[in-house]
Amino acid sequence: MSVIYEKVALIGLGLIASSMFWASKRGGLAREISGFARSEATRDTARRIGLCDVVSDSVIEAVKDADLVVLCVPVGVMGAVAQEIAPHLKPGCTVSDVGSVKGAVVEAVAPHLPKDVHFVPGHPLAGTEHSGPESGFATLFDDRWCLLVPPDGTDPDAVAKLRRFWEALGANVEEMDPEHHDLVLAVTSHTPHLIAYTMVGVADDLGRVTDSEVIKYSAAGFRDFTRIAASDPTMWRDVFLNNKQATLEILGRFTEELFALQRAIRTGDGDELFDYFTRTRAIRRGIIEAGQDTDAPDFGRVKAKH
Amino acid sequence: MSVIYEKVALIGLGLIASSMFWASKRGGLAREISGFARSEATRDTARRIGLCDVVSDSVIEAVKDADLVVLCVPVGVMGAVAQEIAPHLKPGCTVSDVGSVKGAVVEAVAPHLPKDVHFVPGHPLAGTEHSGPESGFATLFDDRWCLLVPPDGTDPDAVAKLRRFWEALGANVEEMDPEHHDLVLAVTSHTPHLIAYTMVGVADDLGRVTDSEVIKYSAAGFRDFTRIAASDPTMWRDVFLNNKQATLEILGRFTEELFALQRAIRTGDGDELFDYFTRTRAIRRGIIEAGQDTDAPDFGRVKAKH
């Protein structure tokens, strides 16, 4: 046991919150963890599987006396939740979140919070295509990054404590400003997700290639897109509505490049295609060297070697 | 041992050919397997690791007396190789290939082959992002699909025998015509690959988001694209040059859809985004139920559960 916060409140009990609970239990990082979810079904599930020490039927009850309150709800409702809990927060506590966009969250949440509360927005870069209270597990954050974007003037002790908490959950922590965060994530996450959703939608639409063929023959590349495109629709709707500017900018760059490659195909410019495909290989190498993915063929889906 | 062909010749010794060799050895499907690669370095590697019973320095030597000759070279050179080996093929033998496009391969190869040879083009839908003679393994084709596209009038016994061979290598076999194959693959493989290459190229280009940030924070979705975009550049150049029509058609559909979603983001149409993202989830479910991917979170990259 190395307790960092006496009481932690997790608001919203999906993949991230449930993983935070299990990882926190693993490390003994809090004496008590309360949880709240808007849906009664989610609260029932949480109680059944032992997710959280106490599951409250009221968000106000959940945040009472909490030293750390983490908003684990979709980005679009962060502001409303902050407004609801604000009068009931313990003075001196820290409020954080796990939203995938940061500029819009800071704008939505900060105005509601009392002056005697520390606001340290965060974003753990971890997840799977699964969602809901039963999808979490203790190792989700191990060796992943968690980005903190404390507004200027935030108490350094509060930031340092939250950093220790995330490190104890297994993550590496980095700080940056919200605008830069949103651009980086537009590149590494938001635009790739939109593209994957689009490709899967196109496949679904095509009359001549039946659904069953698309599914049967998906191993050739398409199935990787479907995994990404199976992520939580509410979360992703909110991401795009709230990181509009950076996503549209990266999408603009993407279509520009795509059209250049499309023209190379149309004109039969093999050299341009070859050079492009060679350049992108190096990035993969970098990701494996940085420990952010496995070098096992096909993500280790392939089991045995000869 | 259940020998299907007395002698098999593998022309080109990359991921597919080397996996065919190991899978064939596993099942004892050929009494002798000869191999040839254009590059001396590849032949040396093959000899060192015991890939093929005999590695020939001459493609003519390799195909001599072979009952099955499989062209495992990039699509762009299939025609030239067929022309070179044609006069040296054993009467009554079967010639096949493993190219990712079929219309162009049939056009390039068929005219060169003598009348007393059976031509049964094929395409195993299996692979990893790795390439070269050392990347193969015996289980690559297990439970994957292999598509055969025999031209009208091909000897049914020759087709049936090749089917038995692929089934013994571990694959499920289906027959279709080359044009349909090329459209299905444009959807399930070729366009997804082009898109992945493009996204990785965009990330690489962006000055404000440094390379190291793209790599560090890739776990949020981008790294799946980099895996696809790490595939063999020569192979993929040839795929796009040789499946031009279907790829351009699917790309057209893709950009149309992408622009619709882009407009939904710009206008803040959350319902459209939500509906789209919900629809694509069902396809993922279909793929898992069809046994074409694992349901383990993150492709099973995540090891432990709580």
State yes or no: pLDDT of A297 exceeds 70: no
Would you call A219 and B144 a contact, using CB atoms and an 8 Å cutoff?
Answer: yes
> B152: which 2 tokens?
């009208």
What's the whole-number mean pLDDT along residues A46-73?
A: 98
What's the whole-number mean pLDDT along residues B284-290?
A: 76
Would you call A273 and B301 a contact, using CB atoms and an 8 Å cutoff?
Answer: no
Helical ranges in chain B per DSSP H: 15-27, 40-49, 59-63, 78-85, 103-109, 156-168, 178-185, 191-205, 211-216, 222-228, 233-242, 244-267, 270-289
- What pLDDT, in 10s, does the model give residues B25-54? 999 999 999 999 999 999 999 999 999 999
Least confident stretch, A125-129, B170-174, B246-250, B253-257: A125-129
In chain A, CATH 3.40.50.720 covers: 5-176
Least confident stretch, B204-213, B224-233, B238-247: B204-213
- What pLDDT, in 10s, does the model give residues B75-86? 999 999 999 999
Quick one: pLDDT at residue B299? Answer: 59
* Backbone φ and ψ of B129, nearest 5°: -80, -5
* Architecture of the A180-268 domain: Orthogonal Bundle (1.10)
- What pLDDT, in 10s, does the model give residues A119-160? 999 999 988 888 899 999 999 999 999 999 999 999 999 999
Is there a contact between A19 and A140 (Cβ–Cβ < 8 Å)?
Answer: yes
Among A130, A199, A284, select the one facing B230 at the smallest CB separation: A284
- What pLDDT, in 10s, does the model give residues B99-146? 999 999 999 999 999 999 999 999 999 888 888 999 999 999 999 999
Rounded Cα gap, residues A119 and A130, in angstroms: 28
Among A22, A145, A227, select the one facing B306 at the smallest CB separation: A22
Confidence of residue B304 (pLDDT cuts 50, 70, 90): very low
Residue with tokens 């060799």: B21
Confidence of residue A1 (pLDDT cuts 50, 70, 90): low
Is there a contact between B109 and B95 (Cβ–Cβ < 8 Å)?
Answer: yes
Chain B: nearest CA to A198, how far in angstroms?
6
* Architecture of the B180-293 domain: Orthogonal Bundle (1.10)
In chain B, CATH 1.10.3660.10 covers: 180-293
Contacts of A258 in chain B (CB under 8 A): 194-195, 198, 251, 255
Question: What is the number of CB-based contacts under 8 A between chain A and chain B?
Answer: 376
Chain A: nearest CA to B89, how far in angstroms?
31
Would you call B281 and A230 a contact, using CB atoms and an 8 Å cutoff?
Answer: yes
**Helical packing angle, B191-205 and A191-205, nearest 10°:** 160
Q: Of B15, B141, B184, which to mutate for an interface test with A (greatest number of A Cβ within 10 Å)?
A: B184
State yes or no: pLDDT of A299 exceeds 70: no
What's the whole-number mean pLDDT along residues B242-254?
A: 95
Percent of chain A with pLDDT strictly greater than 90: 76
Residues near A40 by beta carbon (within 8 Å), at least 6 away in sequence? none
In chain A, CATH 1.10.3660.10 covers: 180-268
Closest-CA residue of chain B to A285? B230
Percent of chain B with pLDDT strictly greater than 70: 95
Chain A: nearest CA to B93, how far in angstroms?
29
The most distant pair of C-alpha atoms in chain A lies apart, rounded to whole Å, by 67
Confidence of residue B301 (pLDDT cuts 50, 70, 90): low
What's the whole-number mean pLDDT along residues A193-216?
A: 85
User: HEC states along A179-193?
Assistant: HHHHHHHHHHHHHHH
Would you call B299 and A266 a contact, using CB atoms and an 8 Å cutoff?
Answer: no
- What pLDDT, in 10s, does the model give residues B50-92? 999 999 999 999 999 999 999 999 999 999 999 999 999 999 9
> A288: which 2 tokens?
């494996």
Chain B: nearest CA to A291, how far in angstroms?
9
- What pLDDT, in 10s, does the model give residues A210-241? 777 888 888 767 888 888 888 889 999 999 99
State yes or no: pLDDT of B214 exceeds 90: no
Would you call A204 and B283 a contact, using CB atoms and an 8 Å cutoff?
Answer: yes
* DSSP sequence for B128-172: -S--SGGG--TTTTTT-EEEE-PPTT--HHHHHHHHHHHHHTT-E
Contacts of B257 in chain A (CB under 8 A): 198, 201-202, 205
Chain A: nearest CA to B11, how far in angstroms?
21
CB atoms within 10 A of CB A275: 13
What mean pLDDT is reported for chain B?
92
- What pLDDT, in 10s, does the model give residues B218-239? 876 788 888 888 888 999 999 9
Rounded Cα gap, residues B186 and B180, in angstroms: 10
Residues near B82 by beta carbon (within 8 Å), at least 6 away in sequence? B71, B95, B108, B109, B112, B113
Would you call B270 and A241 a contact, using CB atoms and an 8 Å cutoff?
Answer: yes
Contacts of A255 in chain B (CB under 8 A): 255, 258
Pick the CATH number of A5-176 from 3.40.50.720, 3.30.930.10, 2.60.40.3880, 3.40.50.2000: 3.40.50.720
Closest-CA residue of chain B to A238? B270
User: Which tops the pLDDT comparison, B200 or A55?
Assistant: A55
State yes or no: pLDDT of A290 exceeds 80: no
Q: Of B141, B214, B234, B237, which to mutate for an interface test with A (greatest number of A Cβ within 10 Å)?
A: B237
What mean pLDDT is reported for chain A?
92
CB atoms within 10 A of CB B11: 28
Quick one: pLDDT at residue A303? Answer: 45
Residue A196: strand pairing partners: none
Closest-CA residue of chain B to A300? B301
State the ipTM, two decimals: 0.85
Chain B: nearest CA to A116, how far in angstroms?
33
Q: What is the dihedral of CA A216, A221, A222, A227, to 10 degrees?
A: 100
Confidence of residue A49 (pLDDT cuts 50, 70, 90): very high
Chain B: nearest CA to A90, how far in angstroms?
31
